Structure 1
Amino acid sequence: MNRKATALDVAKLAGVSRSAVSLVLNGRGDGNVARESQQRIREAAAALSYSPNKIALSLRNQQSRVIGIVSDQVVTSPFDGNIIAGADAVARSHGFVTVVMDTELDASRDESAVETLLDRQVDGLIYVTVGLRPLHVPPNMARVPSILANCFDERPDWRLPAVIPDEVRGGREAAEHVMALGHRDIAFLAGDSLTPAAPRRIAGYREAFGAMGTEVKEDWVLQVGWDIEDGFHGAMKLLDGVHPAMRPTAILCANDRLAIGVVLACYRLGLDVPQDISVMGYDDEFRVAKTMVPALTTMALPLREMGASAMTSLLAEVEATSNGKNYDGGLVASGETMVPCRLVLRDSTGPVPAGR
């Protein structure tokens, strides 16, 4: 069996010292090693198929190269698991690995989950939730660089930054989409206000009307719930027995399941979607929005993007700490990073019906 190349082999081939090889391949060559020598070192390493020993490098840098992720239910969710996928992709691209613990919505397990990861000497922590919500941050997260994804610190004197979807902008862009199709009689169905997503999406809807100089019809803004049957009953309340000239021409929904219920109600009443009424969802739920008939126009939550953004920010702090920066017990408060949602155009929205 061929012997694996060493840093000394690279040094001999490149005609430099072993310390120069270490500096260049560990990213500290600039200012320490001449550029011509750096190039020869990289070419020699490629020729010998040499790469630094990551375990030894981690020990020298006092890093485990491991990021801990705590989730409330994301691991078992086929939907919000994309947040972790986005975070993990960034971690791997930087030579880190992730370890995930799921508390299965049991908040009493938060602190012990964090402690378990800290016992594994993780370099940083991310807390990820299914659905936007305030979080009672486990206090032991302050022992390493930490950040939140899809949730935000509920403390008034919060320290941890958060990466969350821009729900207000998403609600506004949803309304602007149907307005661009000529709709002005637009209803909005949402869940309850216990989750921050619903009022923020409604606020965006109101912003769009404000920009148009048009008043919102308050009896067309209904908080009915989050499930298919809630969408069905909400739509029946808006449409059943109402003269065609007095009903909305578009119904925006705060999630895709509500939109499915609205479409079913339209079919029950003999209305065509989108010829008679345009229907729009939110979330772009996997195996739901795209396969619905008609396929749902929706606002896609930026799940992978949130995970990637959170991990990028966290790794920057982890690397800065490893390079001699004093760690002061948590990332310096930097507010909320808003990641925009994305409009996904499909078949459930269309021009305003003739005569409206």
Structure 2
Amino acid sequence: MVRKATSQDVATLAGVSRSAVSLVLNGRGDGNIAADKQLAILAAAKKLNYTPNSVALSLRNRRTSTIGVVTDAIATTAFGGGLLQGAAEQARQAGYLLLVVDTHYDTDREREAFITLRDRQVDGYLYAAMGLRPYTPPELLRSVPAMLANCFDPASSIAAVTADELAGGRAAAQILVDAGHTDIVMLAGTTDVEATHHRIEGYRQVLSEAGLPVAEPIISGWEIDKGYQAAIQVLSGPRRPTGVLCANDRAAVGVVLAAGRLGLAVPEDLSVVGYDDDENVAPCMAPRLTTIALPHRQIGEESMRMLLSQLSGGARPAPVTLKLPCPPVLRDSVAAPRRSRVNG
């Protein structure tokens, strides 16, 4: 086995003392060590592939270079992986390792997770949710470096980063309005989901601002079969809409299937807008689905940046929610409406 290089090896190769190596590699060389010696130490460390002993460093600075991440279901679902990927990359660049615990929405598991992470002396905490929702953090998080991702504290005790779902609803409706549609229906998921209410409000705002009639949103569910059933009902009426906003991309699949069943072509007879930009659905459909992207990766990145700022000595951020934009992704499922939209 090849022996791992030590700080003494670096000192010997650079022709300096071991304490000089420690000062330079811990970022305290300026003003203490001559510039040429600093360069020699850095060159020697690189040549020997030397990395400081993390355990020894943690004992000296009382840091473990770990961040505890507790999630409700993200770690076990592919769709939320972008959030963890964004957070992990930011942490890695700063020299931190993430310890991730998925609780499966179990409050007992969540309590145990925070206790375990506290006992492991993590330097900071991130709580991340699969979907936008209110979250009441434990008392522990109120007095340590901590952030919320994709959820928010109703009491505003901890800063959070979420998607701007109201702006997302506006963007979805604006796509159809800009294409010339005046008869638009929204399939709105379910009301137990926080994002639904924000998206509905965005839809209503855009249609009202455009002077268009605002049809009452249809509470349709989130899966393909629910989108199909709702679309069959909506598209079989005496005056069918020319554009449909969908709760998510899966529901949009159901709408496109229903349109085909009724002899309608998308986008020639019906324009369809999804939500989520699910990489396994939206770009694979025929036609490719125009949709609204959820900024999961950006939420992970920004919440971790804000947490790392706290860990580097920055002030604890104001307990407000930073809302990131949900950008439209324009593909092939939207076109200008035809003149007549009356059945028969």
- Return the TM-score normalized by structure 2: 0.90
Q: Give the direction of change, closer, same or farther, for the CA distance of 1:215–1:40 in structure 2 (3 Å limit).
A: same
Q: Which residue of 1 aligns with 2:63?
A: 63
The yes-or-no answer on 1:217 pairing with 2:217 is no
Which amino acid in structure 2 is aligned with residue 176 of structure 1?
Q
Q: Which residue of 1 aligns with 2:106?
A: 106
In the alignment, the residues of structure 1 paired with residue 36 and residue 184 of structure 2 have an alpha-carbon distance, to the nearest angstrom, of 65
Which amino acid in structure 2 is aligned with residue 320 of structure 1?
G
The yes-or-no answer on 1:162 pairing with 2:155 is no
Deviation at 1:208, TM superposition (A): 2.8
**Is the Cα contact below 8 Å between 1:172 and 1:207 reproduced in 2?**
yes
Q: Give the direction of change, closer, same or farther, for the CA distance of 1:27–1:219 in structure 2 (3 Å limit).
A: same
In the alignment, the residues of structure 2 paired with residue 297 and residue 145 of structure 1 have an alpha-carbon distance, to the nearest angstrom, of 39
In the alignment, the residues of structure 2 paired with residue 179 and residue 24 of structure 1 have an alpha-carbon distance, to the nearest angstrom, of 60
- 1:336 equivalent among 300, 321, 329: 321
For residues 65-80 of structure 1, the aligned pairs below 5 Å read 65-80=65-80
* 1:272-324 C-alpha deviation (Å, 9 max, x unpaired): 01111111111122422222332221112111111111111112212228xxx
Which amino acid in structure 2 is aligned with residue 148 of structure 1?
L
- Unaligned runs of at least 5 residues, structure 2: none
In the alignment, the residues of structure 1 paired with residue 338 and residue 272 of structure 2 have an alpha-carbon distance, to the nearest angstrom, of 13
In the alignment, the residues of structure 2 paired with residue 234 and residue 30 of structure 1 have an alpha-carbon distance, to the nearest angstrom, of 68
Deviation at 1:355, TM superposition (A): 6.1
Q: Which residue of 2 aligns with 1:328?
A: none
**Is the Cα contact below 8 Å between 2:207 and 2:213 reproduced in 1?**
no
**Is the Cα contact below 8 Å between 1:159 and 1:332 reproduced in 2?**
no
* 1:165-205 C-alpha deviation (Å, 9 max, x unpaired): 11122122222223332323322211233222011112222
Q: Give the direction of change, closer, same or farther, for the CA distance of 1:27–1:193 in structure 2 (3 Å limit).
A: farther
In the alignment, the residues of structure 2 paired with residue 352 and residue 24 of structure 1 have an alpha-carbon distance, to the nearest angstrom, of 67
Which amino acid in structure 2 is aligned with residue 27 of structure 1?
G
**Is the Cα contact below 8 Å between 2:184 and 2:215 reproduced in 1?**
no
- Unaligned runs of at least 5 residues, structure 1: 326-330
Which amino acid in structure 2 is aligned with residue 165 of structure 1?
A
Deviation at 1:143, TM superposition (A): 4.8
**Is the Cα contact below 8 Å between 2:65 and 2:95 reproduced in 1?**
yes
For residues 1-356 of structure 1, the aligned pairs below 5 Å read 3-155=3-155, 158-210=156-208, 213-243=209-239, 247-320=240-313, 331-354=316-339
| Cα RMSD after superposing both structures | 2.3
Deviation at 1:113, TM superposition (A): 1.6
Sequence identity (%): 48
Which amino acid in structure 1 is aligned with residue 259 of structure 2?
C
Deviation at 1:127, TM superposition (A): 0.9
In the alignment, the residues of structure 2 paired with residue 353 and residue 42 of structure 1 have an alpha-carbon distance, to the nearest angstrom, of 69
In the alignment, the residues of structure 2 paired with residue 95 and residue 85 of structure 1 have an alpha-carbon distance, to the nearest angstrom, of 15
Which amino acid in structure 1 is aligned with residue 334 of structure 2?
T
In the alignment, the residues of structure 1 paired with residue 5 and residue 218 of structure 2 have an alpha-carbon distance, to the nearest angstrom, of 68
Which amino acid in structure 2 is aligned with residue 308 of structure 1?
E
Q: Give the direction of change, closer, same or farther, for the CA distance of 1:188–1:35 in structure 2 (3 Å limit).
A: farther
SS at match of 1:219: coil
Deviation at 1:16, TM superposition (A): 4.1
Q: Give the direction of change, closer, same or farther, for the CA distance of 1:266–1:220 in structure 2 (3 Å limit).
A: farther
**Is the Cα contact below 8 Å between 1:132 and 1:197 reproduced in 2?**
yes
Q: Give the direction of change, closer, same or farther, for the CA distance of 1:21–1:225 in structure 2 (3 Å limit).
A: same
**Is the Cα contact below 8 Å between 1:280 and 1:296 reproduced in 2?**
yes
Bigger strand fraction: 1
Which amino acid in structure 1 is aligned with residue 222 of structure 2?
W
SS at match of 1:126: strand
* 1:109-163 C-alpha deviation (Å, 9 max, x unpaired): 32222111111111111111111100121223335311111111122xx311111
**Is the Cα contact below 8 Å between 1:256 and 1:289 reproduced in 2?**
yes
Which amino acid in structure 1 is aligned with residue 54 of structure 2?
K
* 1:80-105 C-alpha deviation (Å, 9 max, x unpaired): 12211221122222221111111111
In the alignment, the residues of structure 2 paired with residue 31 and residue 350 of structure 1 have an alpha-carbon distance, to the nearest angstrom, of 65
In the alignment, the residues of structure 2 paired with residue 109 and residue 138 of structure 1 have an alpha-carbon distance, to the nearest angstrom, of 13
- Return the TM-score normalized by structure 1: 0.87
